[in-house]
A and B are shown apart, each in its own frame.
Chain A
């Protein structure tokens, strides 16, 4: 199986070439086009109850599509937001994805939900995060560009910009400054991250777009 991210960074999408026997797992609704030789098998994402939990708590789809082919075929996948897509290679390690970031993965990858803590509710980061582990590649998307950073000590990311992080990274919610400056600086709540570990961020925040749009509606 070959996979390539094309049209980077603004309107990135994934082109997958499947050979006989290959399987490819994607979030429901991610497929934009495919060869007739490719079959889709729709499954509950990790069983009925887990699927519902993922939908309600993790911001992910209840269903996953498993693509396979008996001969060979091409498959193209995308994400709903304009922005970049990146690929992670898991080799027995774990990564956490923020709700909604997951697009696709190889069959060796395990998708789970992990409790993120009540504080994340305040920061509107989602109470749960998607935990990807196992072996294989994972594709995740973001709104805007994706950039990564190795952090060792404390690092601050505005809420809504964190996309993925390693399990060694501690995520906390904090005020951007004092109470007054947090209110008026327009930064409000931020996430404070503690390394060591790698974090992935997005250059735009959807909440930011929503707020901007809202302000221009009337």
Chain B
């Protein structure tokens, strides 16, 4: 140790103009000697010295006298060690205590930081799932008539593209499928109402409350009535599982919950209808799609309609995809069909065996009818 070492630091003293000055510090036999830039010298004897550690860097050493009228400070790393040595053990204990205190503070600070970060993450996660769950629970608590009101209102404003098909043969064919599926719906009291529209889009969708829209493109593309029934089963399942409201509940979350708490469903219905105008044709969540698949094939099986129609329809679309991508709306809103075909086949094999009763329809006649302009009564 070189006790003649000079350290850079500073002084606080009322006797200096402005109260402070930069200084050169030496640790002499008498005590801590600081020479201000002006040349003025200050001496702080070791036995009068009170040590504090802090400053903006958390490692500045302050040496202060009892009445704090003189403070000599230094930030150099070697200072505290040299000071302990130079004071012949007088300041040893104080320095060690202060350093320990400092370290403790730093660790407790880190502890708080970790706790803060962990708390923030937890709050985000809990908040996200909480809002989702609250929204879903609130949506489920609504009477089914709300679904119907939302569906009817949305239906009025949806632009489906083509004119409605009124050909009784076509309408009856679709109605027949729905009539066979309806008694096996997961909830009672839902009246399914099917509308067929002239459009090349290979698509069908269900609105909350049981309104189902089928495009003629789907009928033309399907190779058998069972395939259309498969799609209908899937879409009806969205309605019976109340996926629309669930999704709506998620997107509005707390707003829904609060509106329901104060018992005003009108706002919910209006907002829901608006949402479905925008999003009716696309995007249920992947979980909801899988759930609708499972419920759809269950309904088909229970109704005695061959449930393999649905995976077969996927296959049909898969082969044709790319030829007319724009017309493949249904598949485009139902992604990952490769995996879904497999999942569906697995599901179907696990269903209780039943002998399917074919849908007795002249399918090629129906396809011919929708191929023509049948929009006029």
A interface, CB within 8 angstroms of B: 91-93, 96, 114, 117-119, 122, 129, 150, 152, 165-172, 194, 196-198
Q: Does A168 lie within 8 Å of B60, measured CB to CB?
A: yes
The 3 closest A-B pairs by CB, nearest first: A170-B54, A167-B56, A196-B12
Indicate if B73 sits at the interface (CB-CB under 8 A): yes
**B112 located at the interface, meaning its Cβ lies under 8 Å from any Cβ of chain A in the complex:** yes
Q: Are A196 and B71 closer than 8 Å at their CB atoms?
A: yes
A93 touches B10 (CB 8 A): yes
Q: Nearest chain-A residue to B114 (Cβ)? A: A118
A91 pairs with B55, CB closer than 8 A: no
Select A91's contact among B22, B60, B68, beta carbons within 8 Å. B22
Main secondary structure of the interface of B (DSSP, over half): mixed
Question: Can you list 13 A-B contacts with CB-CB less than 8 angstroms, sorted by A residue number?
Answer: A93-B20, A166-B20, A167-B55, A167-B57, A167-B60, A167-B75, A168-B10, A168-B12, A168-B73, A194-B54, A196-B68, A196-B71, A198-B20
- Whether B22 lies near A92 (C-beta < 8 A) is yes
User: In the complex, how many angstroms separate the beta carbon of A88 from the nearest chain B beta carbon?
Assistant: 12
B residues near A194, Cβ cutoff 8 Å: 54
Chain A residues within an 8 Å CB radius of B57: 167
User: Please, how many angstroms separate the alpha-carbon atoms of A118 and B276 in the complex?
Assistant: 46
Give Cα A119 to B107, complex, Å. Answer: 12
Q: Which residues of A contact B19 (CB under 8 A)?
A: 150
Instruction: Give the interface centre of B12, B60, B109 by most chain A CB atoms within 10 Å.
Output: B12
B266 CB-CB contact with A under 8 Å: no
Cβ contact within 8 Å between B56 and A165: yes
Query: Nearest chain A CB to B332's CB is how many angstroms away?
Result: 37
Please tell me if B314 contacts chain A, counting CB pairs below 8 Å: no
Which B residues from 56 to 89 make CB contacts under 8 A with A? 56-58, 60, 62, 68, 71, 73, 75
Report if B316 contacts A (CB, 8 A).
no
Roughly how many angstroms separate A122 CA and B110 CA in the complex, as a whole number? 12
Known: A96-B56, A167-B55, A167-B57. A91 touches B109 (CB 8 A): no
Q: A91-B22, A168-B62 are in contact. Are A122 and B55 (CB under 8 A)?
A: no
Most buried by A among B19, B56, B68, B71: B56
Max count, chain B CB within 10 A of own CB: residue among A91, A167, A171: A167
Most buried by B among A93, A117, A166, A196: A196
Check B129 for interface membership: any CB of A closer than 8 A.
no
Could you say which residues of chain B place their CB within 8 Å of the CB of A167? Answer: 55-57, 60, 75
* Complex Cα–Cα for A171 and B54 (A): 9
B126 at the interface (CB under 8 A from A): no
Measured CB to CB, the closest approach of chain A to B211, in angstroms, equals 35
User: Do A170 and B22 have beta carbons less than 8 Å apart?
Assistant: no
Number of interface residues of B (CB under 8 A): 22
Q: Which of B55, B113, B116 contacts A170 (CB 8 A)?
A: B55
- Expressed in whole angstroms, the Cα–Cα distance for A155 and B71 within the complex equals 18
With a 10 A CB-CB cut-off, give which of B10, B75, B116 has the most chain A CB atoms.
B10
CA distance A91 to B73 in the complex (A): 17
Complex CA gap A197/B54 in Å reads 12
Kindly state whether residue B37 has any CB partner on chain A within 8 Å.
yes
Closest to A175 in B: B112
Q: Which residues of A contact B73 (CB under 8 A)?
A: 168
Residue of B nearest to A93 (CB): B22
Q: How far is the CA of A122 from the CA of B68 in the complex (A)?
A: 33
| B110 / chain A contacts, CB cutoff of 8 Å | 118
With CB as the reference atom, state the residue of chain B lying closest to A174. B112
Q: Within residues 92 to 121 of chain B, which ones have a CB less than 8 A from any CB in chain A? A: 109-110, 112-113, 116
Are B56 and A122 in contact, CB atoms less than 8 angstroms apart? Answer: no
Of chain A, the residue at the smallest CB distance from B71 is A196
Beta-carbon contact of B112 and A119 below 8 Å = yes
Chain B residues whose CB sits within 8 angstroms of the CB of A119 once the complex forms = 109, 112-113
A129 to B349 CA separation, bound complex (whole angstroms): 66
Q: Report Cα–Cα, A198/B12, bound state, in Å.
A: 11
Which residues in B have their C-beta under 8 angstroms from that of A122? 113, 116
Bound form: Cα–Cα A171–B58 in Å: 9
What residues of chain A lie closer than 8 Å to B112, measured between beta carbons? 119
Complex: how many Å from CA A152 to CA B68? Answer: 9
A171 adjacent to B56 (CB under 8 Å) = yes
Q: Which residues of B contact A129 (CB under 8 A)?
A: 56
Residue of A nearest to B60 (CB): A168
Residues in chain A near residue B116, CB distance under 8 A: 122
- A169 proximity list for chain B (CB < 8 A): 55-56
What residues of chain A lie closer than 8 Å to B109, measured between beta carbons? 117, 119, 172
CB distance from B62 to the nearest CB of A (A): 7
